[in-house]
Chain A
Amino acid sequence: MKYKLGIDVGGTFTDFLLVEENGESHIFKTPTTPKDPSVGVQAGLAEIAEFTTLDLNQFLGSVEIIVHGTTITTNAALTRNGAKTAFITTKGFRDLLNMRRGLRDRQYDSRYSPPEAFIRRRNIHTVEERIDSQGKVLIPLNEDEMLAVIDKMKGNGVEAIAVSTLFSFLNPVNERRIGEMLREAFPDIYISLSSEILPQVRVYERNSTVALNSYVGPILSSYLRKSEGSLQKSGFKGNLLIMQSNGGVMSPEMSSRFAVNTLLSGPAGGPVNGQFIGGIHGLHNIITVDMGGTSFDVCLINEGQPAVTTEGEIGGYRVALPTLYIETIGAGGGSIASVDAEGMLQVGPQSAGADPGPVCYGKGGEEPTVTDADLILGYLDPEYFHGGALKLDLSAATKAVEEKVAKPLGLTINEAAAGIYKMINLNMALGVNLVSVAKGHNPRNFAMVVAGGAGPIHAADIARDQNIPLVIVPRGSSVFCASGMLMSDLKHDYVRTYTADLNAMDRERAGEICREMLAEANSTLLQEGIPQERIQAHFSADIRYVGQFNEVNVPLPMSSSQEIRDEDLKYLKELFHNTHDKLYGYAMPGASLELINIRLQTVGETDKPTHKPSKHAGKDASKALKTHRQVFFEDKFRSTPVYDGLKMKHGNMIFGPAIVEEPTTTIVVPPDFNLSCDSYDNYMLYQREQRPDEIIAELKEKM
């Protein structure tokens, strides 16, 4: 027997998804051990080995691929526990990193502090050197000054260094020389250069990205070294791959070098899994949503391509490498409900988190949360939360909602709880609106794939608000990210700034840039064990109307030998105008266009687990019926059937109102919705008057 294993180290739980050769999968969870996450991982591996009735060595010996997602860098950045990092930049520009472009989010609030700097000013050094805006050396590197800086850093306990100089993306000669001198002086220290990590215009964004790379690089590389070592010691001979913020995976070596690329990788498995789940039905327009304890992550996949952004952010600083564009809203099961000074009900972004958590957890929480409201409304069963592992305190939840929400608003407890439910759903719906309508997409043409324990309780309402015709809740949706990881391909992103008027651009030079990037990409993927025939290259261009300051990224057509022909250029322009129109509601055909960056994403296809469809078991779901309970819908409690999800089979159908329970997930089917199980036993939710096959056919037509 051969296995594939996904390991997702989250904040509270470490999720494992074991997939057997025949596609059968099993879920395991162990508590995360924040001090040394590898302890929790080891515990989980031992448990899985036991399950397979093999000893650890035999088991790991038969695992072909481990895909590992870790938030170790995310946590280090958020808690400012990264390496002691020095930063070197051009003389005269010492503070561009910590100025953060001089913005304060809460404009009217003068009583709070800016985000804490990752690198304090005393560790930011400047040296004389300058490249001009044409890429010419204006001032060569002053090596004496550089040596003085090196002297200053020695004995300073520096653990990592980041270098970013002005216009190094046009001409890296000075920056490289700084790098050489540093590597000579500090052979054992983690060093990254902006021209290697992100050779792209915009100096703060570049500074911040490379600074973060060095800040978390040492931690990630030592963790990966250790993990790889201990896995190998325990008999693992397969491929270890690390989840990245762009939705792809990388080898541990590449991942250590581009450590910044793991900072936003936590939710990145979700969209990949959503793509797979949608793909089962031939759907490639998907919105994935993941509702956890404190936040709601939403990502839009258009024609099979998840939205990507270069405007990621962590701890108040920017990550400008391409990452999946996942909008995070402060809405989760732990979101706190309160009434503000203007008598408006507010739900979130403050959260009770997992500790103390909602009032009903009985762990000292005093502020009413979304989970408390869900409990009052009968969506959750106090006796069957996490399969009965945690008993929920309904009377405490009721009291909190009464005092903090119902009384101040002059509502009954049930009205208040229903109000909390409605508000949190609206906040999430507006999050969906942000990634769809605000970016030129009509949610009507998308199916929504819902992950996370709390998500399926709220999904139907969100779908109704945004006119999304179909909701899919995957089986085992609480390990959604771990399943996505096993579906991920190796992905590497490259960028070169090349600014030119599109009509006057030197196409020969552009082609050369493409070939350079491709050669680098191919050699990286080959080293990672991907044969040439499994490599796909996607070139794209960041283009804008001359004079604009924001670019639009569009695919860059070219010949197989990376030549940009007349017809390619013509097509590129059309593509740009169309995309601009779709995104922003207008285009200016005829206006001149300006190329800013050329990008390459290479995809090295990995072996995916195969899944088998199950047999149609008929519409009748009565075998899964557990009981009836009082559940609040619209404006009153109704006796509502409760089904055992584990007993539901392909083809089974349920009319709303109903509740479907799995040990870690509850699905709410409102009165105007129906639910049925697809051929992979995933649940499909849709408005009552429609049929799932018709909805899917319509969605396909719109693609």
Chain B
Amino acid sequence: MGDKKLDPILRSVLTNRFESICSEMGETMLRTSRSPIFSEARDFVTGIFDAKGRMIAQRPYIAVLAGALPYCLQGIMERYGDDLVDGDVILTNDPYLGKNNHMPDFTVARPIFVGDEVAFWALAKGHQADTGAGGCCGYNPEATSTWEEGIRIPPVKLYKAGRFNRSVWDLVLKNVRMEFMLDGDLNCLVGATKVGERKLLQAVSMYDLDTIKQAVDELIEATENHMREEISKIPDGAYTAERFMDHDGFDRDRMVKVKVTIRVQGDQITFDFTGSDPQVKGSINSTEANTFSSVCLALFMTVNPNIRKNAGALRPITLIAEPGSVVNCLEPAPCTASTICTTATIVEAVWLALSQAVPERSQAAWARWSAPATMGFNPRNNSLFGDIHFMCKGGAGATMGFDGWNHLGVISCAGGLRSPDPELHEMVCPYTVLQYEYLEDSAGPGKWRGGMGTAYRWRVEADGILSDNFGDGLRDETAPFGIMGGKGPKHSQLRIVRADGAVEDPDVHKFVVLNKGDLYEIMEAGGGGYGNPFERSVSKVLDDVLNGLVTMQAAQEQYGVVIDPQTLMVDMEATLQLRDGK
């Protein structure tokens, strides 16, 4: 190789090829999975790595999964070291032994051999509909250790030297309820890594291994430089913020704190979580992998979005998270809800801190996730079902110059989570959806307002269905915040109206059994606003009123825009008076 740089054209060509390999792997998964969590909601990620475990490229359908892949591969490499042969395929879901982000996300890794050596890895990771133990679609609010959250799979070989390892496969399948679904989705993960292998070997035959290795080195270095350049644009200093989670499911009166101090020095950035709460009893503990991944997500959404997401982009980031804290939990702390609750809280804390440094690139908070996973038996088609109610995605936060997007969902997914089709949903689950539309006045006001939240109500048509809301955001303190004078919306609200009329609060992190005739109602918050709402353009406010997104009362109180209910025209005089008064 030597010092000579690769022809920049060849380097560009190979970079494009790497990215297309990850997309093709993702496409395979999208088409072949059985669980709606994969195929409809696209809760998965694919990536390719070099022999040193450095991420070359990835295709995150769910953004928060991307930063967690490198950890997972590290866990696998540590465990297997040299004990690898061509044709091995490794599975893990273990947050500790496999450095996996949480148990429902099964990770399949395939070492790719050129000659006798591992040259690359292809990884695919996705959320399974069922992980066994006491959980509901993998979420168990009563778990106080990782063993109660699902079957624990340290890195194990699904295939040994190309031979299917039936013992492992059966052992895993026989420990979950929805064996059929998991069987299909494991096949689909394995299939995706096979596609990755085929394409990478093809590239090796076209360009030779040394050239590709050099291209990877140069790509990672170029991306690192780009990331450093972006970090340099953030003024040097220390920026601190803290955000909370509702509770851990056990001590329901105690909010759980995430605190971050971001220190920027030149082209280095450190995220120091000292001061965050110690790890808790319930499943909102975050592993280091998940914390790091959440930090990456928050940062990537603030700097230039075109930075390539490879090992180079991660290098300038330093994480300080005290072992034993809620942002770096130790075995055997339960951690399944961390990718939703803790991730959102970490991202919010990072954004709130960064808004002190780079307000022009910051964004207001997105609505937290607050909806249940449900699991049970559907008498209509005589089968078990498990589904996450992805309909109630809330609004995104506003940015300078742009309203937040409506119904975009939980921040972990950053807009990559496809809402389910309500018709298919009713055909699979014993439910009747009564309402699924934007929730009036749910957006945080601002010069640029937050995205709209969602009103989602459904009736249960069968007995004995287990549900668990694994999100949070049901308090004023955990509702989305606005920035730069923008306001936060009202927090999300949930209730169950039982068939007999009794009203119940499902709260979060709590098993609730649903029966025929029960009504589940979710009023999911919108996103936070950016800038003073009294500076929002009057015509935009009128538009929102005419479109039924903002009521006339809210237009007047929150935006200072007076609309005549008869003519539906803006009373400019009254508006100016009101706006000047503030």
Contact = CB atoms under 8 A, between A and B. Distances in A.
Interface string A337-370: 0001111111000000000000000000000000
Contact of A120 (B17, B191, B547): B547
Interface stretch (B140-148, B265-273, B422-430, B467-475): B422-430
A588 B33 CA distance: 12
A105 B518 CA distance: 36
Contact of A585 (B13, B195, B406): B195
A110 B301 contact: yes
23 contacts: A99-B419, A102-B406, A102-B409, A102-B418, A103-B416, A104-B396, A107-B63, A111-B402, A114-B406, A121-B549, A201-B427, A204-B421, A341-B307, A343-B222, A344-B12, A411-B8, A547-B184, A549-B424, A550-B32, A584-B188, A585-B28, A586-B191, A588-B184
A102 B417 contact: yes
A548 interface: yes
Contacts of A585: 28, 32, 191, 194-195
Given A103-B417, A108-B305, A201-B427, 15 more contacts: A92-B433, A94-B437, A95-B407, A99-B419, A104-B405, A110-B363, A133-B432, A134-B380, A202-B424, A340-B306, A344-B11, A409-B9, A419-B8, A547-B180, A584-B31
B406 A426 contact: no
Nearest to B417: A102
B408 interface: yes
A499 interface: yes
Interface in B188-219: 188, 191, 194-195, 219
B437 A92 contact: yes
A586 B32 contact: yes
Contact of B31 (A101, A120, A166, A550): A550
A82 to B, nearest CB: 19
Given A108-B300, A426-B13, A102 B306 contact: no
Given A107-B63, A549-B39, A93 B32 contact: no
A379 interface: no
B436 A201 contact: no
Nearest to B308: A342
Closest 3 pairs between A and B when the two form their complex, measured CB to CB: A104-B415, A419-B9, A121-B547
A607 interface: no
A192 interface: no
B530 to A, nearest CB: 10
A702 interface: no
Contacts of A101: 418-419, 421
B305 A106 contact: yes
Contacts of B304: 341
Contact of B20 (A106, A346, A433): A433
A523 B127 CA distance: 49
Contacts of A99: 406-407, 419, 438
Nearest to A416: B9
A304 B194 CA distance: 30
Interface string A113-152: 1100000111000000000111000100000000000000
Interface of B: 8-9, 11-13, 15-17, 20, 24, 27-28, 30-36, 39-40, 60, 63, 180-181, 184, 187-188, 191, 194-195, 219, 222-223, 225-226, 229, 300-301, 304-308, 363, 380, 393, 396-397, 399-409, 413-419, 421-424, 426-427, 432-438, 457, 546-549
A430 interface: yes
Could you say which of A98, A111, A113, A134 has the most chain B C-beta atoms within 10 Å of its C-beta? A111
Contacts of B33: 548-549
Given A108-B300, A438-B24, A167 B184 contact: no
B8, B60, B409: most-surrounded residue (chain A CB, <10 A): B8
A548 B39 contact: yes
Contact of B436 (A92, A105, A120): A92
A410 interface: yes
Contact of A112 (B9, B397, B402): B402
B538 to A, nearest CB: 17
A104 B402 CA distance: 14
A295 interface: no
A104 B399 CA distance: 15
Given A93-B437, A101-B418, A107-B414, A586 B187 contact: yes
Task: Give the residue among A132, A418, A584, A588 with the most B Cβ atoms within 10 A.
Answer: A584
B418 A547 contact: no
A622 B416 CA distance: 59
Contacts of A437: 24
A483 to B, nearest CB: 32
A173 interface: no
A463 B300 CA distance: 38
B491 to A, nearest CB: 20
A202 B423 CA distance: 6
A539 interface: no
B423 A203 contact: yes
Interface residues of A, number: 70
A665 B35 CA distance: 50
Contacts of B306: 340-341
A101 B417 CA distance: 9
Contact of A121 (B191, B409, B435, B548): B548
Contacts of A96: 422, 436-437
A584 B184 contact: no
Contacts of B457: 92
A114 B184 contact: no
A158 interface: no
A427 B191 contact: no
A353 B88 CA distance: 49
A372 interface: no
A475 interface: no
A46 interface: no
B63 A110 contact: no
B31 to A, nearest CB: 5
B27 A345 contact: no
A545 interface: yes
Contact of B421 (A202, A411, A545, A588): A202
A588 B276 CA distance: 48
Given A94-B438, A108-B305, A111-B401, A422 B13 contact: yes
A204 B402 CA distance: 25
A92 B426 contact: no
B34 A201 contact: no
Contacts of B423: 133, 166-167, 201-203
A423 interface: yes
Interface string A86-100: 000000111110110
A94 B300 CA distance: 34
Contacts of B229: 341
Contact of A102 (B184, B194, B300, B393): B393
A426 B402 contact: no
B47 to A, nearest CB: 15
A427 B424 contact: no
B68 to A, nearest CB: 15
Q: Which of A104, A110, A583, A591 is most buried by chain B, counting CB atoms within 10 A of its CB?
A: A110
Interface in A560-585: 580, 583-585
A374 interface: no
B422 A93 contact: yes
A580 B184 CA distance: 13
A251 B412 CA distance: 50
A678 interface: no
B9 A422 contact: yes
Interface in A648-679: none
Nearest to A126: B437
Given A96-B422, A122-B546, A415 B363 contact: no
Contacts of B195: 585
Give the most central of B27, B396, B415: most A CB within 10 Å. Answer: B415
Given A93-B437, A111-B399, A547 B16 contact: no
A346 B13 CA distance: 9
Interface string A424-443: 00110010010001100000
A109 interface: yes
